[in-house]
Amino acid sequence: MKLSYRGVNYEYQPLTLEVTENEILGKYRGVNWRCHTLNEMPVPQADRVLKYRGVAYHTNRNVETCQADSTQSARPRAIKPVAASAVVTRKAIEETHRENLRRNLERRLQAARERGDQNLVNLLEAESRQLLV
C-alpha cells in the first residue's frame, strides 16, 4: 500500500498473521470465547538506532533481549519450587473473591426483590446457581 506523510512517499506492508481457533474456553455475555493461536511466529524486526531531536532511541529493544535469552538457553537452569505459602495465599485470594461475589449477588438480589422486579430476581437466582458450581 503506497502512503504519503508530509510529502514523503513510502510503501506500507501491514503484518498479517494467520491464526487458528482452539476449543471453546468459556462464555462471555452469551457468546462463546475461544483461544486463538498463531500458525507461524512473526519474524522480529531488526533493532535500529534512530535519532529524534538529537536523542537516540531504538526501534525494537526486544530483539537484543531475545538474542541474549537464546544464548543463555543452552545452559541448564535450576527450577525453583513453588512455595507452599504461595499456594495457600492463592487459595485464600480465590476464596475471598468468591465471598465478595456472593455478597454482591445477595445485595443485588435483595434490591431486586424490594423493587419487585421478578425478571431480574430470576436472572440473579440463575447467576447464583452458576456461582455455586
Q: Which DSSP string do the residues of 48-100 spell out, in sequence order?
A: -EEEETTEEEES-THHHHHHHHHHHTTS--PPPPPPHHHHHHHHHHHHHHHHH
- For the chain, give the percent of residues with pLDDT over 70: 68
pLDDT for position 63: 47
Most confident range, picked from 9-18, 55-64, 109-118 = 109-118
Question: What are 4-31's pLDDT values in tens digits?
Answer: 888 888 888 777 777 677 776 777 888 8
pLDDT level of residue 79 (50, 70, 90 thresholds):
low
Residue 115, CA distances (Å) to 83, 101, 127 in order: 49, 21, 19
Contact 1, 16 (CB under 8 A): no
**Averaged over 99-104, what is the pLDDT?**
91
CA angle in degrees (0–180, nearest 5) for 20-24-28? 115
CA 102 remoteness from chain centre: 25
pTM over 0.85: no
As given in the structure block, the three cell numbers for residue 8 are 514523503
Q: Between 98 and 65, whose confidence is greater?
A: 98
Place of cell 437466582: 125
pLDDT for position 24: 67
Q: Is the pLDDT of residue 64 over 70?
A: no
Query: Count of CB atoms within 10 A of residue 14's CB?
Result: 5
